[in-house]
Amino acid sequence: MSGFIHLNVASAFSGHFGVTRPERMVEAAAAQGVQAAAITDRDGLYGAVKHIGACLQLGISPIVGVNLAILDDAGNQLGRCVILAHGNNRGLGWAKLCKIVSVAHALPKAVKKQVGIARSALADLLRDEGGCTVLLGPDSDVGLEVLAANRSGAIEALEAWRECLRTPGTLAIEIVSHITEPGTELSVLQARRMLQLADATKTPAVLTNAVRYLEPDDALTADILDSARHLEALGLFKPQPNAQAWLKPASMMQSLAVEITEDRDRALELFSTTAKLAKLCALDAVGDCDWGRPKTPEKAALGIEGNPFEVLWQKAHAGIDRFYPRANDSLLTQVKHRLGQELITINKLGFATYFLTVADVAQMIRDMGIRSQARGSGAGSLTNYLLGISGVDPIEHDLLFERFLSVERSSLPDIDIDVESARRHEIYRAIFKRYGSDRVTLLSMQSTYRGRGAMRDSGLALGLDDEQIDEIAKNMWRFSARSFRGALQTKPELAKFAEEVEQDRRMSLLVDITERLDRLPRHISMHPCGVILGDISLLRRTPVEQSGLGLPMSQFDKDDMDPMGLLKLDVLGVRMQSAMAYAIREISRVSGKEIDLDAVPRDDAATFRDIRTTNTLGIFQIESPGQRELTGKHQPTEFNDLTIQISLFRPGPMKGNMIAPYLDGRHGFAKPDFIHKDLEPILRETWGVVIFHEHVIRILNQMTGCGLAKGDELRRSLEKPRIKPQIETFFRNEAAKRGYSKEVIERVWSVIEGFSSFGFCKAHGAAFALPTYQSAWLKTHYPTEFIAGLLTHDPGMYPRRLLLSEARRLGVKVLPVDVNFSTDEYLVEPITRKTLDANEPQIGVRLSIRDVQSISDAEVARIIENRPYKDTADFYLRAKPTRRTLENLALIGALDGLAAAEVTRGDVLARVRQLNAIKNRKAMNANQPTLDFSVLETMPTGNPESSKQDRVQAELSILKMDISEHVLELYRPMLDEMGVLRSDELVGLRSKTEVLVAGVRVATQTPPMRSGKRVVFVTLDDGVGCSDSTFFDEAQSRCSHILFNTRLLVIAGKTRRTGVRGVSLMAENAWDIRDLWEQWINKKKTPLAG
């Protein structure tokens, strides 16, 4: 007996059951010297593709099955079984398995929460053709009868199964022993009786170890996953019996077999039956799963006739007139030549249908009137531009097709389309409708445990208090939870927790199990944007389950697409696209002007002037504190500058120290160094700095003559340490042959060698730069409409109150919530001018009632429907708000418009409380036929006007926005006395001036730094703008208690000039404004002591 193939192996992709990732499990199996390895996840094939890929890489056969709950026709539980697909039958077994899993996820509504398959449905699927083997193990109904020592019950249960699964090879008994206490589940005794039953009924029996983890040590992690699955603390549910469910080697499985059978020959037979079933189930990845063969919708599904390539050729050429209407001859020649080259490549790869499919979807989206924009390397393709998929001209922006697609690679390219996020579900539904739900499914994704999530579920397992966990989780910033214990020593904000860990055993356990959970799969959900488009065979290749959206979703994730030859289209909802579409709609609605944003010239001077002020809040991609700072230094003047800036502000270029030399070159502080005159045309745009993938490809091509396609292959291989030396040799030899000096070769190699992980795809940057420019253009020319769009669709990283701050700064008129005018959106509203001052704005943004705290959608709808209201009582009677909503609306002044001008906010509130009291009375006496109208008619008078402070507080707590004035104004007397500067005063200061700034925290970031040390950036808004402060180690430990959590801050630091308009603060200390305020107030109260 040599080698033992485990046929029941749950991986970490089994919904909090298995512990080990498939790749590791397969590696271990291969190391045990077996010829095949199985994966049998619970409820799905979530890990199957990764498993198959790992097996192929190690040259062993993949076996795939599923572990499912079985039900009888009345919906009663028949335990769980493993179902294994048979292989080498041209996909029959695999298709059956996919179908079984899909059916198990489509139980009728009554049992919807549950995943499982009716035995009769299973029998129907396996009748005649077979294709799978069902293993009846210790968890099956048969196993449970055996455990109860009910021999006749067990025989009856088994007979029922044999009745259902008559096709030979579809049924076997699974013998498992985890050497538990005699007579209990998974004991030797249960296994022995199962075997006796199998022998008595002549049912084949196989041995497994019902594996949940690779090594015994992992059993501890399994305990925690059990807790997460049960949603209960350890000790409150029945735990696994011991730590035996690991991938035992053949020798141990052999001892188990002997212990169970007490008969060496029977043990041998058990081994050989197991090996036989393994052989039957060994899959041929290509033959069975159609591994790696690209699948696209059939011609008929796309509505095309004839040769797809000819259709593509015509469609693309037809685009030339449309997109290059005024092109001169030389440009036309260039366009036609490039298009020809691209089409030849596409034809060679056989991807014509793929491009037609994407073009078809893009056209469909346009026809729906939804804004869209291709992103990623696809923007480098002229074909995509001419088909209307991408909006960026690759010739104008000098983008390379080869970065996107080449004959050197045969994997399906990725084309991602950004669309208005608010309408993306409409698009998904339309795609399903257009191509049919047998060719389309959504893509899923597996989220994994990261720091805080791992900590929360660990806390649950230990039965720790939620609040306590939240408190600790709040201070987990930018470190891998895998090294949690190490972080305790080095992170100042964890110091308090570190002390608890020393003293409290449970806290110490919390750290250990958080480390264990980190990076394990957590749960499956709908991928935010992926749609799989396949041919009619799609549902035979992938199992599907219902997504949260109600549409079917594949159990495979994005990494599984390429191996399975599935075409994934990313239709990504981008809120900025929604915000821009909204702004354009409002411009048209209020002023009647129709704007074609995509046709706006991309060289508007006013737009770039505004960008250069660094007031970029709300602008796509460049509104973050870091991008603002970079904008100040960079001072972009044209579209390509935006492409460069977006590409520079990435972890790679920052780590690779590319920003400083680029800026030095641009501002003339240093002479650009192109290394060799041949490289000057390639690197002129970035002053000699290699930033883009396209740069590397061109340099390799220039110096070795390898061609652009090969150049991209070489570039990709630079990231693979094993292949890199070959590339180096190739580069050095070829460059030398072309006469480049040793010194030049040396220098260029050192640049591109270090580049691999740093650079950015220019096409991607250019695709991003388009909405950046478009949003900046809207902000410059239509600030009111743009702010309305931002407030409605909330696209950025900042809270809404900061947008309001920005609106104030821009002079955009903000109109308060008013029940007669506000809707569920932030509408642009014409203002009737009270004065003749031409500078007064003619339009303003009316705040929405949608964001009033605790208001319901039904209330919003009722309020809008019953307008207008003539007074508060009328509103109360017809809009029927809850008492809480009515009072909230009064508190933020939304009812002020219903009362006469002289009525105070205090009067309105008193009125509302009167009305609310009626409700109370009515509830107490249901028989009272009519309302007490005397109350309805009297308006209280003489109540004081509410103070500014009260108003701002009410606005903040009810709308999360300070509308009347900036919240900081409340503290202004103290701040003035302290000498706190306003953020717009900083830009006029010299470097290293000691200052105090204050504000509301709007962003906290800990970007990766070149040194590896952690740096914390805090951005404060003080009503006139934002200030950015940098906390290094020392400052971090000085104010660790407020570094991440306090909202209102005063920061002391030194100014640091970073460019023409760039200034930031090196923080030295920070305080909570409210603490300072308390001290200040107390000091004011206490008379000076003698």
Partner 1 sequence: MLRVDERVEVSVDRVGEPIGFWWRGAGYLVKSKPIRWFARREWWIEAARVQRGIGAGVLEVEMWRMSASSNNKDKAQYELVHTLDTSGGQKHIWRLVRVYD
**239 touches partner 1 by CB under 8 A:** yes
Cβ-based nearer residue to partner 1, 240 or 1006? 240
Contact 404, 382 (CB under 8 A): no
Minimum distance between the CB of residue 366 and partner 1, rounded to whole angstroms? 53
Which residue type does 467 have? E
> Nearest distance from residue 246's CB to partner 1, in Å?
8
Least CB distance from residue 193 to partner 1, whole Å? 16
Minimum CB separation of residue 262 from partner 1 in Å reads 11
Stretch that binds partner 1, among 299-307, 505-513, 589-597, 707-715 (CB under 8 A): 505-513
DSSP code, position 843? E
> What is the DSSP pairing of strand 1026-1031 with strand 1016-1021?
antiparallel
516 binds partner 1 (CB under 8 A): yes
Token representation of residue 1015: 């740096």
Gap between the Cα atoms of 508 and 502, Å rounded: 7
Measured between alpha carbons, how far is 451 from 520 in angstroms, rounded to an integer? Answer: 11
Which one of residues 3, 153, 204, 241 is an interface residue with partner 1 (CB under 8 A)? 241
Amino acid at site 396 = E
Report the nearest approach of partner 1 to the CB of residue 225 (Å): 13
In whole angstroms, how large is the CA radius of gyration of the chain?
34
Q: Please provide the DSSP assignment of 35-76 as one string.
A: SEEEEEEETS-TTHHHHHHHHHHHT-EEEEEEEEEEE-TTS-
Q: Which stretch binds partner 1 (CB under 8 A): 27-35, 68-76, 177-185, 931-939?
A: 177-185
Give the span between the Cα atoms of 501 and 694, in whole angstroms: 50
Instruction: By CB under 8 A, tell whether 243 contacts partner 1.
Output: yes
Would you say 133 or 244 has its CB closer to partner 1? 244
Smaller CB separation from partner 1, 189 or 532:
189
Is residue 258 near partner 1 by the rule CB under 8 A?
A: no
Residue from 220, 956, 989, 995 touching partner 1 (CB under 8 A): that is 220
Which residue in the block uniquely carries the two structure tokens 């900025």? Answer: 576
Binding partner 1 (rule: CB under 8 A), the pick from 61, 187, 615, 964 is 187
Give the sign of the dihedral formed by CA 651, CA 654, CA 656, CA 659. Answer: positive
Distance (Å) of CA 480 to CA 24, 464, 475, 518, 967: 20, 22, 13, 8, 36
- 801 belongs to the binding site for partner 1 (CB under 8 A): no
- Specify the DSSP class assigned to residue 984: G
* Contact track, partner 1, 949-968, x by CB under 8 A: --------------------
Residue 179 binds partner 1, judged by CB under 8 A: yes
H helix runs in 925-1029, sequence order:
933-937, 948-959, 972-978
Fill in the per-residue mask, 123 to 162: x = in contact with partner 1 (CB under 8 A), - = not in contact. ----------------------------------------
754: contact with partner 1 by CB under 8 A: no
Is residue 837 helix, strand or coil?
A: coil
Site for partner 1 in 477-496 (CB under 8 A): 485
899 binds partner 1 (CB under 8 A): no
Contact 105, 73 (CB under 8 A): no
* Alpha-carbon distances, residue 853 vs 339, 517, 524, 961 (angstroms): 55, 36, 32, 11
Binder to partner 1 among 277, 386, 462, 909 (CB under 8 A)?
Answer: 462
Closest approach, Cβ 261 to partner 1, in A, equals 16
State the minimum distance, in angstroms, from the CB of residue 687 to partner 1: 48
238 binds partner 1 (CB under 8 A): no
- List the one residue from 414, 457, 515, 962 that touches partner 1 (CB under 8 A): 515
- Please identify, among the stretches 233-241, 293-301, 569-577, 660-668, the one whose residues bind partner 1 according to the rule CB under 8 A: 233-241
What does residue 78 show for φ and ψ, rounded to 5 degrees? Answer: -115, 30
Q: How far apart are the C-alpha atoms of 481 and 474, rounded to whole Å?
A: 13
What is the rounded CA–CA span in Å between residue 378 and residue 495? Answer: 48
Angle at 763 between CA 761 and CA 767, to 5 degrees: 120
For the CB of residue 465, give the shortest distance to partner 1 in the complex, in Å: 15
Contact between 845 and 815 (Cβ < 8 Å) = yes
Distance (Å, rounded) from C-alpha 50 to C-alpha 12? 11
Residue in 106, 473, 509, 989 binding partner 1, rule: CB under 8 A: 509
Between 511 and 912, name the residue whose CB sits nearer to partner 1. 511
Query: Between 247 and 415, whose beta carbon lies closer to partner 1?
Result: 247
Strands 1063-1072 and 1026-1031: parallel
On the question of a cis peptide bond just before residue 308, with omega within 30 degrees of 0, the verdict is no
Contacting partner 1 (CB under 8 A), which of 400, 513, 763, 1016? 513
CB of 515 to partner 1, least distance (A): 6
CB 781 within 8 A of CB 609: no
Among 242, 333, 657, 938, binds partner 1 (CB under 8 A): 242
Task: Determine the angle formed by the axes of helices 905-924 and 883-891, rounding to 10 degrees.
Answer: 170
Report in angstroms how near the CB of residue 298 gets to partner 1 at its nearest. Answer: 50
What does the block give as tokens for 923? Answer: 């509830």
CB closer to partner 1 out of 240 and 717: 240
Q: Is residue 216 a contact residue for partner 1 (CB under 8 A)?
A: yes
At its nearest, how many Å lie between partner 1 and the CB of residue 508? Answer: 6
- Which residues contact partner 1 (rule: CB under 8 A)? 178-182, 187-188, 216-217, 219-220, 223, 234-235, 239-244, 461-462, 485, 505-506, 508-509, 512-513, 515-516
